[in-house]
Chain A
């Protein structure tokens, strides 16, 4: 038949076009990958050549060599005669020390300011708005230098400010009263943690049983036993001491207590205040994202404002808040690398010193990347898990 004859080539052409699209895609991919490989290969061969000219051997063997770099502020035992690997571990601990404390404090401060911005008190909400606007619009590095300069301008240890008994603020940093932590104390802390996780599992079970039969079961006797009884028992059994030691001025410096070095303290203040401004905005928009009807309904039930906020609005707001909060935590962790500007030795600063001493540029940068990628991934994983958990609350 004459009519069916032209149909064949047409259909074929369509198929050809589809194939051409696929071929196009394939060609594009090959071209892009080839260019990428060529560029990386070229850079790599240049690097190998330059390294051999400068007599720098590649590889991580340098980590075993003596570092010879002093680290002033460290929680771990460290001396300049230790190898580079040890210095790096000290740096990682220093980074985590400022990041973890910073995240906790920034969350608390940011949430308070975010709620203050929504306050019905005009003065409070305006003040919070000014705080957010000023801190967000000035570079963090500038703020850090500013805090550090203020810190250096504080009186010497002899004339330290004493806002409360046992707390000293001077150009040596902040000195706080502390409880000396020994092995027995660590066991007690472990007991508290074990009690907390047991309580968490117990609560889940109790809630499940209440779901089944509708009878409310009190949790507090268990809480008392697990969080107070168990640690107290462990403390008695091991004879842990909980005396608070107050710092004292002896000669030119302080003895006893917990000292936050000015570098650490300045970095912490800068990170916390800067990040809290962003967190405040996230919290504010999260709360505002909860429909007004939820407030109205809760008010109609005659619930107290604080109860409404805690039990009705915040759980819903959290779902909006968590994802941007995660990226703020990541930012804070990455921003902690500004430490190098005030001489707090975090992992980036130590890698930089290593790089200058050994010339192992590629390895040092690779280590920084590995450390930060690991931290970023852990924070993301944890926050995704938490996010999934609160998302499940929906029934």
Chain B
């Protein structure tokens, strides 16, 4: 009797795979990966031709013909090569404004330090062996530090009012605080939506569906126009804080749905066992159910974080100076007006680095949690 599993896994003989000159191996690799069939060969040739053409024109534009630096805010040389080469000189000219907005120029080391604090905070929070209760204290300390650095007014730091903040720190603040407050809100709403109490359940459903049913922009319009209407006379909340509240409500609804997915994946036996031990509702959820549920949904949670980070750029529309708004504003300067492509590429790269790091991290977690 011939068993199929006895057949070699790979039809190539052993020595043909691992031995041979490097050139021979390269040819074999090309044959299996690029020229396996007629169709595949045609696709490869076409793609190589297209890529070569795109690469050449990109290098010509972005490197060969590009201008990297100009002296004294003179965009003249850039204008003469417009269309043929990139004007990267706009970046050294404007990067301080793009990154930190209208923050007082001599104090810009403070927002720079804030950005580094945020990055360190993210890095620390991403370590698995750091997921302990002390992490909450680290977060609290870091947020206090960020507040002190941004506002100042103590330790001989000059006071900087909120309307002068801008650029990358604002993007990071909106995203981080939105998630930090939206996450507990999401947990409560997710539990509420799974609750057996009809009034609480329907309130949570209403909240989640209303927020998820409308575009974020309309929430931001609401924050910038309607919040003042809803507050009593004399109470005035800063524009940034209003947007922050809108973001927290928005994040809460989306995170609640992700967490609900995790709650649904917990087998009933866990609930029954916790009840049998006589745990109260909050103890049962806090100690038994939620830790497991959240662990289940870490990859989709990180994906939600990425989406949320990108969505903070929408504050451009209500005129808050986040990274994208400062980028767009920096090219209002008539001398540099024509070089927005270069600025957008630069800012896009910053967003990309953050999001790409998160998505890599999510994939790594997914690979770790996969059984086997």
Q: Could you list which residues of chain A lie within 8 angstroms of chain B, going by C-beta atoms?
A: 25, 28-30, 32-33, 36, 43-44, 46-47, 49-51, 53, 119-124, 127, 133-134, 136-143, 145-146, 149-150, 153, 334-335, 337-338, 340-341, 348, 351-352, 355, 361-362, 365, 368-369, 372-373, 376
Contacts and interface: CB of A to CB of B under 8 A. Distances in A.
Nearest to B344: A146
B310 A140 contact: yes
Interface string B199-216: 110010000001001111
B292 interface: no
B154 interface: no
Interface of B: 33-34, 36, 40, 43-44, 47-48, 51, 196-200, 203, 210, 213-218, 221-222, 225-226, 228-233, 306, 310-311, 313-314, 316-317, 324, 328, 338, 340-341, 344, 347-348, 351-352, 355-356, 359
The 9 closest A-B pairs by CB, nearest first: A137-B355, A122-B33, A337-B215, A139-B310, A29-B199, A334-B215, A139-B313, A43-B230, A368-B218
A146 B217 contact: no
Given A28-B200, A121-B34, A337-B218, A47 B230 contact: yes
Nearest to B221: A352
B199 A365 contact: no
A362 B203 contact: no
The interface residues of chain A, by DSSP majority, are classed as helix
15 contacts: A29-B197, A29-B200, A33-B199, A46-B232, A47-B229, A50-B233, A121-B34, A121-B40, A127-B51, A137-B359, A138-B310, A139-B324, A338-B317, A340-B217, A365-B226
A373 B210 CA distance: 8
Contacts, number: 155
B214 A149 contact: no
A112 to B, nearest CB: 13
Contacts of B313: 139, 141-142
A60 to B, nearest CB: 17
Contacts of B230: 43-44, 46-47, 50
Given A121-B33, A362-B229, A372-B215, A142 B347 contact: yes
Contacts of A352: 221
Contacts of A372: 213-215, 218
B348 to A, nearest CB: 5
Contacts of B43: 119, 121, 123-124
Contacts of A46: 229-232
A236 to B, nearest CB: 43
Given A32-B199, A369-B210, 16 more contacts: A25-B197, A30-B199, A50-B228, A53-B233, A120-B33, A122-B34, A124-B47, A133-B359, A136-B355, A139-B351, A140-B310, A141-B314, A141-B317, A153-B338, A368-B214, A373-B214
A377 B80 CA distance: 53
A141 B316 contact: yes
Contact of B215 (A33, A36, A153, A348): A348
A51 B231 CA distance: 11
